[in-house]
Chains A and B, each alone.
Chain A
Amino acid sequence: MSATGLDVEDLTVSLGGRAVLDRVDLHVDPSESVALLGPSGVGKSTLLRAVAGLVTADAGRVSWDGVDLTDVPAHRRRIGLVFQDAVLFPQRDVAGNVAYGLEASGRRGSHVGREVERLLDLVDLSGFARRPVDTLSGGQAQRVALARALAPRPLLLLLDEPFGALDRDLRERLGIEVRGLLRTLGIPAIHVTHDPAEADLVADRVLTLEAGDHGARLAAT
Chain B
Amino acid sequence: MGPGDVALTVVDRTRALPRPARAAGVGGRARVQPPPGRWFALLPALFVGVFFLWPLVTVLLRGFTPAGLGVLGEASTWRVLRFTTVQALISTAATLALGLPAAYAVHRLDFRGRRSVRALLTVPFVLPTVVVGAAFRAILPTSWDGTLAAIVVAHVFFNLAVVIRVVGGFWTHLDDRYEQAARTLGAGPVTVWRTVTWPLLRPAVLAASALVFLFTFTSFGVVLVLGGPTTTTLEVEIYRRTVQLFDLPGAATLCMLQILAVVAVLVVAGRLQRLLTVRQRLTRAAVAVRPVRSGTERAVVGLTLLEAVLVALPLLALLAESLRVGDRWGLDWWRALGVDGPTTRDVAAWSSVRVSLGYAVGAVVIAVVVGGAAACAIAYARRGGALLDSGLMLPLGTSAVTVGFGLLITFARPPLDLRGSWIIVPIGQALVAIPLVVRTVLPVLRSLDPRLREVAATLGSSPARTWRTIDMPVLSRALGVGAGFAAAVSLGEFGATSFLARTDAPTLPVQIGRLLQRPGEVNSGQAAALSVVLVVVTALAVLVTERLRQPGAGSL
Q: Which residues of A contact B (CB under 8 A)?
A: 13-16, 18, 20, 39, 41-43, 45-46, 49, 52-56, 73-81, 83, 87, 89-91, 100-101, 104-105, 132, 134, 148-149, 151-152, 154, 160, 211-213, 215-216
B552 — which chain A residues lie within 8 A by C-beta?
A: 91
Closest B residue, CB atoms, query A210: B16
Among B89-97, B235-243, B456-464, the stretch that binds chain A is: B456-464
Shortest distance between the CB of B35 and any CB in chain A (Å): 14
Residues of the A chain whose Cβ atoms lie less than 8 Å from the Cβ of B452: 87, 89
Residues of the A chain whose Cβ atoms lie less than 8 Å from the Cβ of B554: 90-91
Chain B hits for A56, CB < 8 A: 29-31
Contact across chains for B17 and A78 when beta carbons are under 8 A apart: no
Of A18, A41, A54, A105, which one neighbours B25 at CB under 8 angstroms?
Answer: A54
Are A104 and B459 in contact (CB-based, < 8 A)?
Answer: yes
Say yes or no: A73-B31 contact (C-beta < 8 A), given A54-B458, A91-B473. Answer: yes
Chain A residues, CB < 8 A from B449: 87
Residues of A close to B454: CB separation below 8 A: 49, 52, 54, 74, 81
Sample (19) of A-B pairs whose CB atoms are under 8 Å apart: A14-B29, A41-B18, A45-B20, A49-B21, A53-B31, A53-B457, A54-B32, A73-B31, A75-B459, A75-B461, A78-B460, A80-B459, A81-B455, A90-B556, A91-B474, A100-B459, A100-B461, A101-B459, A215-B18
Q: Do residues B29 and A100 form an inter-chain contact, with CB atoms below 8 A? A: no
Give B21's nearest chain A residue, CB to CB.
A45
A10 to nearest B CB, angstroms?
A: 17
Nearest chain A residue, comparing its CB with the CB of B470: A89
Interface presence of B465 (CB below 8 A): yes
Given contacts A55-B24, A80-B459, A81-B455, 6 further A-B contacts (CB under 8 A): A46-B21, A54-B24, A91-B473, A134-B555, A152-B459, A213-B16
On whether the beta carbons of A18 and B462 are closer than 8 Å, the reply is no
- Say whether B19 faces chain A, with CB atoms less than 8 Å apart: yes
Nearest chain B residue, comparing its CB with the CB of A57: B29
Residue of B nearest to A152 (CB): B460
Taking a contact as CB atoms under 8 Å apart, the answer to whether B463 and A75 are in contact is yes
Q: Is the CB of B19 within 8 A of A18?
A: yes
Pick from A20, A77, A79 the residue with the most CB of B within 10 Å. A20
| Residue among B474, B552, B554 having the largest count of chain A Cβ atoms under 10 Å | B554
**Which of B18, B452, B465, B554 has the most A CB atoms < 10 Å from its CB?**
B18
Q: Does B384 contact A (CB under 8 A)?
A: no
Contacts A46-B18, A54-B30, A89-B452; A151 near B473 (Cβ below 8 A):
no
Inter-chain contacts of B474 with A (CB < 8 A): 91
| Given contact pairs A49-B24, A87-B452, A89-B470, A75 touches B457 in the complex (Cβ within 8 A) | yes
A104–B31 CB distance below 8 A: no
Task: Tell me if A41 and B17 are in contact (CB < 8 A).
Answer: yes
Interface centre among B20, B457, B552 (most CB of A within 10 A): B457
8 nearest A-B pairs in the assembled complex, by CB-CB distance: A101-B459, A211-B16, A45-B21, A74-B457, A20-B18, A104-B461, A91-B554, A81-B458
Complex Cα distance, B456 from A165, in Å, reads 22
Give Cα distance in the complex from A14 to B27, angstroms. Answer: 11
Task: Please give the distance in Å from A22's CB to the nearest CB on chain B.
Answer: 9
- Specify which of B15, B30, B470 is in contact with A55 (CB 8 Å cutoff): B30
Contact (Cβ within 8 A) B459 A211: no
The answer to whether A15 and B24 have CB atoms under 8 Å apart is yes
Given contacts A52-B458, A83-B455, contact A91 B27 (CB under 8 A): no
Please tell me if B547 contacts chain A, counting CB pairs below 8 Å. Answer: no
Measured in the bound complex, the distance between the Cα atoms of B459 and A152 in whole Å is: 7
Q: Which of B12, B21, B473, B555 meets A213, CB within 8 Å?
A: B12
* Chain A minimum-CB-distance residue to B9: A211
Q: In the bound complex, how far is the Cα of B463 from the Cα of A48, in angstroms? A: 20
Interface: B279 (CB within 8 A):
no
Contact A83 B29 (CB under 8 A): no
Contact in complex: B458, A79 (CB < 8 Å)? yes
Report the Cα distance A152→B19, complex, angstroms.
Answer: 30
The 0/1 profile, CB within 8 Å of A marked 1, for residues 248-272 of chain B is 0000000000000000000000000
> Which residues of B are found within 8 Å of A160, using beta-carbon distances?
21
CB distance from A210 to the nearest CB of B (A): 9
Contact between A212 and B555, CB atoms less than 8 A apart: no
A16→B460 CA distance, assembly (Å): 27
Closest to A148 in B: B459
Interface pair B457/A215, CB less than 8 Å apart: no
Contacts of B383 in A (CB 8 A): none
CA of A81 to CA of B473, assembled, Å: 23
Which residues does chain B contribute within 8 Å of A20, judged by CB atoms?
18
Query: A154 CA to B466 CA in the complex, in Å?
Result: 18
Q: Which residue of chain B is the closest to A96 with respect to CB atoms? A: B469
Q: Is the CB of B18 within 8 A of A18?
A: yes
What's the nearest-Cβ distance from chain A to residue B478, in Å?
12
Given contact pairs A15-B27, A87-B452, A76 touches B19 in the complex (Cβ within 8 A): no
B457, B462, B465, B469: which contacts A54 (Cβ < 8 A)? B457
Contact A149 B556 (CB under 8 A): no
B18 to chain A, nearest CB (A): 4
Q: Contacts A74-B31, A215-B16; is A87 near B455 (CB within 8 Å)?
A: yes
A61 to B30, CA, bound (A): 17
A80 CA / B20 CA spacing, docked (Å): 20
Residues on B with C-beta less than 8 A from A42 are 16, 18
CB of B13 closer than 8 Å to a CB of A: yes
- Which residue of the partner chain A has the closest CB to B449? A87
Q: Is B28 an interface residue (CB 8 A)?
A: yes
Cα–Cα, bound, A216→B17 (Å): 9
- CB neighbours (8 Å) of A76 from chain B are 460
B17 CB to closest chain A CB (Å) equals: 5
List B residues 517-556 near A (Cβ within 8 Å). Answer: 552, 554-556
